[in-house]
Amino acid sequence: MRKNIVIDTLMKRRSVRKFRKQIPDDETIETIVRAGQQAPFTSQLYSVIFGTEGDYGFGAPLWFLICIDAYKLERYMRLRHLEIEVDDLSLLLLGIQDASYLAENMVIAAESLGLGSCFLGEGSINPYRVRQLTRLLNLPPRVLPAIELVMGFPDEDRPIRPRYPLAFTLFENGYPELTDTEVIEAMSAMDGAGSEKQTQFAADPSHWTEHIVRKWCQWSPSQEDLLEALSERGFHVGKPTDESKFD
Amino acid sequence: MRKNIVIDTLMKRRSVRKFRKQIPDDETIETIVRAGQQAPFTSQLYSVIFGTEGDYGFGAPLWFLICIDAYKLERYMRLRHLEIEVDDLSLLLLGIQDASYLAENMVIAAESLGLGSCFLGEGSINPYRVRQLTRLLNLPPRVLPAIELVMGFPDEDRPIRPRYPLAFTLFENGYPELTDTEVIEAMSAMDGAGSEKQTQFAADPSHWTEHIVRKWCQWSPSQEDLLEALSERGFHVGKPTDESKFD
């Protein structure tokens, strides 16, 4: 494993779920978002909304909402009397990638400045939350609330969480046959570390695989409702492409 | 703008499109992927396949394919006699986020080690390429080739590309009304910088907004074909959720 200050920062990052009240100053917030913007992108299909006055969860003083934003692109194309032709599912997948690259850079920039961060929700786009944030924040069409991220100065020191063994993640030249033994070993690696630490959050149990099993077995959102929420925001998925523009 | 070594690394990163032949050593490759893994995640819904023996574009000696991977999760849940309940669109959106956070950490880790990187394609999931890579790499069901990334030691020194002004990206407490003047200013900021530099790649013209207009107006992939390619990989979007499992 090679080492340097950047890699140390990447490797030591973990979610923080208890924050001090102090609000990071404007320069810090702007630095974090500027560093986020410098991530690679397809079309900068995002906007970032922030707040420092709410109750954002985990006592965090700073909240970011990263939206997939095709509205700004369309505003500019209309000035040239043009319309987007790309289908809405591709646009969503491009947008969530742009948004995620930006978010990850923000997380790393924050870490380097002594701030902790935590993604909110299950990481998924939730129809109820989409509708709520659209209303609260007066979002224009073709802007989809996607990633919520809180930040602040940590008021706790959690252990770094394990990851799958590299052998279960990185494959050369093709996808291998995975034996049950290899699968079990990977899960053990996830469950073993940190099992001596007690945590008070359901989202962060000692046994990761237990948590994941519970999450993916019990969570049965309706795809239909998600498609409907996307459609309300102007992203038409699973429908003929000639309906895929808003006006 | 606050400064430190990490933020400098984030800010100076730009895509490299000309590489030296030298293949990064195994320790470098493993460090990059380990640093990638340490990104936040919902369920580590990814696998990384790499190659150092192909012709990957831009003369790059090292190629990574980051797949959305629900197969490993399902293997492990089956050992517990359980099945994923989450709908396939949510799973895809979660997976592309996991994959993107990992990819961005990889890009930053590489940068810190003196390597350059470039995302391939338009950043989108392309039905033709999905089918081709599935065949070539023997991908199991529920593994979707998503992000292609080449790396190597740079053999060029490009200018850092601009981004939208912060005022066009970061909004406080809600989404503002954007005037045409603000939209035009943002586009000018993108087109202005770098306009004195000639580049030889269609993907990197002097005038960014011209490039983007051309891209999104001319590219008309069929959403139906994309949905079909996703379905072949075991991700059923826009269909009743009771069809959304593979067996």
Q: Are residues B141 and B179 in the same domain?
A: no
Distance CA A30, CA A129 (A): 26
Answer for the pair B22, B160: CB distance below 8 angstroms, yes or no: no
Tokens 């990633």 locate to: A147
Helix (H, G, I), strand (E, B) or coil at A79: helix
pLDDT of the residue at A83: 82
User: Which residue segment(s) compose the domain that A189 sits in?
Assistant: 164-236
Q: Are residues A126 and A174 in the same domain?
A: no
Average pLDDT of chain B, as a whole number: 88
Bridge partners of residue B63, in order along the sequence: B51, B150
Domain boundary among A94, A124, A158: A158
pLDDT band at A124 (very low <50, low <70, confident <90, very high): confident
Q: Taking CA atoms, what residue in A is nearest to B26?
A: A1
Q: Are residues B195 and B139 in the same domain?
A: no
pLDDT of the residue at A79: 87
pLDDT of the residue at B55: 93
pLDDT of the residue at A221: 67
Higher pLDDT, B122 or A28: A28
pLDDT of the residue at B42: 85
Q: Are residues A142 and A209 in the same domain?
A: no
Strand ranges in chain B using DSSP code E only, listed in sequence order: 46-51, 62-69, 116-119, 143-152, 170-172
Q: Are residues B209 and B91 in the same domain?
A: no
Size of interface A-B (CB pairs under 8 A): 359
Q: Does A4 sit within 8 Å of B112, measured CB to CB?
A: yes
Q: Are residues A117 and A174 in the same domain?
A: no
pLDDT > 70 fraction of chain A, expressed in percent and rounded: 89
Q: Residue B241 falls within a domain, yes or no?
A: no
List the single residue in A39, A140, A241 with the smallest CB-CB distance to B223. Answer: A241
Q: Are residues B89 and B189 in the same domain?
A: no
Answer for the pair B4, A4: CB distance below 8 angstroms, yes or no: no
Average pLDDT for residues A69-95, to the nearest whole number?
A: 90
Helices and strands (H, E) in chain B, number of each type? 8, 5
pLDDT band at B206 (very low <50, low <70, confident <90, very high): low
Q: Taking CA atoms, what residue in A is nearest to B45?
A: A169
Q: Residue B184 falls within a domain, yes or no?
A: yes
pLDDT of the residue at B219: 64
Instruction: Please state the domain count of chain A.
Output: 2
pLDDT > 90 fraction of chain B, expressed in percent and rounded: 72
pLDDT (tens digit, 9 = 90+) per residue, A131-148?
A: 999 999 999 999 999 999
Q: Are residues A13 and A110 in the same domain?
A: yes
Distance CA B116, CA B12 (A): 11
CATH number, domain with residue B146: 3.40.109.10
Q: Are residues B139 and B180 in the same domain?
A: no
Average pLDDT of chain A, as a whole number: 88
pLDDT of the residue at B239: 63
pTM: 0.92
pLDDT at B118 over 70: yes
Name the phi and psi angles at B171, rounded to 5. Answer: -125, 145
pLDDT band at A201 (very low <50, low <70, confident <90, very high): very low
Q: Residue A32 falls within a domain, yes or no?
A: yes
pLDDT at A193 over 80: no
pLDDT of the residue at B217: 72
Comparing A161-170, B49-58, B156-165, B213-222, which segment has the lowest mean pLDDT? Answer: B213-222
Dihedral in degrees, nearest 10, Cα atoms B90, A151, B73, B35 = 130
Report the 10 Å Cβ neighbour count for A127: 19
pLDDT of the residue at B194: 44
Nearest to B219 by CA among B108, B102, B121, B75: B121
Domain boundary among B125, B158, B191: B158
Q: Give every strand in the sheet of B116-119, ordered side by side.
A: A170-172, B46-51, B62-69, B143-152, B116-119
Distance CA A208, CA A202 (A): 11
Q: Are residues A133 and A207 in the same domain?
A: no
pLDDT at B146 over 90: yes
Which of A169, A188, A236 should we substitute to test contact with B (largest number of B Cβ atoms within 10 Å)? A169
Distance CA B14, CA B92 (A): 28
Q: Residue A245 falls within a domain, yes or no?
A: no
Answer for the pair A62, A50: CB distance below 8 angstroms, yes or no: yes
Answer for the pair B110, B34: CB distance below 8 angstroms, yes or no: no
Average pLDDT for residues B24-33, to the nearest whole number?
A: 98
What ipTM score was computed for the predicted complex, to two decimals?
A: 0.92
pLDDT at B241 over 50: no
pLDDT (tens digit, 9 = 90+) per residue, A220-244?
A: 668 999 999 999 999 999 964 444 4
Average pLDDT for residues B212-236, to the nearest whole number?
A: 85
Domain boundary among B128, B158, B188: B158
pLDDT (tens digit, 9 = 90+) per residue, B63-116?
A: 999 999 999 999 988 888 888 888 999 999 999 999 999 999 999 999 999 999
Q: Are residues B114 and B82 in the same domain?
A: yes
Contacts of B3 (CB under 8 A, 6+ apart): none
Q: Residue B242 falls within a domain, yes or no?
A: no
| DSSP 8-state secondary structure symbol assigned to residue A62 | E
pLDDT of the residue at A123: 66
pLDDT at A206 over 70: no
pLDDT (tens digit, 9 = 90+) per residue, B3-22?
A: 999 999 999 999 999 999 99
Can you say whether the dihedral through the CA atoms of A227, A231, A234, A240 is positive or negative? positive
Which of A8, A9, A52 should we substitute to test contact with B (largest number of B Cβ atoms within 10 Å)? A9
pLDDT at B218 over 80: no
Answer for the pair B149, B103: CB distance below 8 angstroms, yes or no: yes
pLDDT of the residue at A217: 72
Nearest to A5 by CA among B35, B141, B180: B35
| DSSP 8-state secondary structure symbol assigned to residue B14 | -
pLDDT of the residue at B196: 40
Which residues of chain B make contact with A208, given a CB cutoff of 8 A? none
List the single residue in B9, B103, B169 with the smallest CB-CB distance to A47. Answer: B169
Q: Which tokens hold the place of A241?
A: 């492409």
pLDDT at A53 over 50: yes
- DSSP for A223-246, please give it: HHHHHHHHHHTT---SS-GGG---
Q: Residue B130 falls within a domain, yes or no?
A: yes
Average pLDDT for residues A158-172, to the nearest whole number?
A: 94
Bridge partners of residue A149, in order along the sequence: A64, A119
Answer for the pair A52, A62: CB distance below 8 angstroms, yes or no: yes
Q: Are residues A137 and A173 in the same domain?
A: no
Report the 10 Å Cβ neighbour count for A21: 10
Q: Does B224 sit within 8 Å of A174, measured CB to CB?
A: no
Q: Residue B245 falls within a domain, yes or no?
A: no
Q: Residue A243 falls within a domain, yes or no?
A: no
